[in-house]
Structure 1
Amino acid sequence: MAKATMAEFIPLNIAVLTVSDTRTEETDTSGKTLVERAAAAGHNVIDKAIVIDDVYQLRAIVSKWIADEKVQVIVSTGGTGFTERDNTPEALIPLFDKSVEGFGEVFRHISLGEIGTSTVQSRAFGGMANGTVVFCVPGSTNACKTAWDKLIVEQLDASHKPCNFVPHLNLTDLQCESRG
């Protein structure tokens, strides 16, 4: 890919994962929402999967995407609550080179205004692995809309200032600007 400046939008390759024991392609409104929003923002959704909430199956698909040099972003929906079957954090955090603590913090801050104190039960989180950014959000369609529209979309846009995740991905040598 040609070298770009921070002012240029760079379409990224995104994989979308729905974590659910019950959803199918026909009933997966959360995954569909993320796919539609990513495409509308100008990104390329190059893979999508639905996986049951099993630690090892989650690690298998996400590890495959992390190792794939074509995938720059993974957005996962589901498995971030407190039920016995919610295992996304336990499955994926060990795969990260670095955690993005601010992602979960900001998501919960935004959600507080939408769903009140129930947001404390959200275990939304993010991280970096092998030059791939991973965002994991709750399984509700509204949570996916909130995460994408109010947080993820700007962080995947190279023109968003003072900084975004694009310079940290395995595709360019961009650097964040100073907050000056």
Structure 2
Amino acid sequence: MFKIDRHEVPIAIRALKTANVYEITGRKRIIVDTGMSDESYNELMAQGLSMENVDYIFLTHMHIDHIGSAHRMQQEFGIPVAMGEEDIKRVNAIKESPEDFRDSLLEIMRMNGTPSAITDQMIQRHFVLDHLDTYLRIEFDIHLKGNEEIIPGVRALFNPGHSPGSFSLYIAECSCLFSGDHILPGITP
């Protein structure tokens, strides 16, 4: 039997305003996504989320509004973090050389005809560069590669699209799917 609690936390993304963090308790305890920042973490604690006996943090994908508090949970409580291998490769490349990442963004903008007068503004507002410290601090303990059972009755499903390494979490017993941003109402992922 699984117990599922949803925690809604505010995020600084104009199109969404909030993110969902799920607490799944069964044979093991899993946190699905973590919100955007330390403010998300503080809000989760204020809502009564306990980090005791959490076995995994499952990140659906690499975007900041899903991984922002993971490093703090990992550092303070020693909770292993799982994410898709393709997204981990991208985060590790950013960590290895933030300058190369920035330069590649500028090149993509130039190739697509973005006026040079606004490229600096766009770079300054890019979610990765704006939250680079978060990306630099997180470590990944579990690299998800494909459709795999992570604990009995709980499967990690590879569903690239929203990001190259997006994963959903599926619990057969309750037919519950935690899809991150793979399925969104009202905006295009």
User: Which fold has the larger relative contact order, with Cα–Cα distance below 8 Å and residues 6 or more apart in sequence?
Assistant: 1
Determine which structure has more spread, i.e. the larger CA radius of gyration: 2
Give TM-score, length-normalised by structure 2: 0.31
Give TM-score, length-normalised by structure 1: 0.32
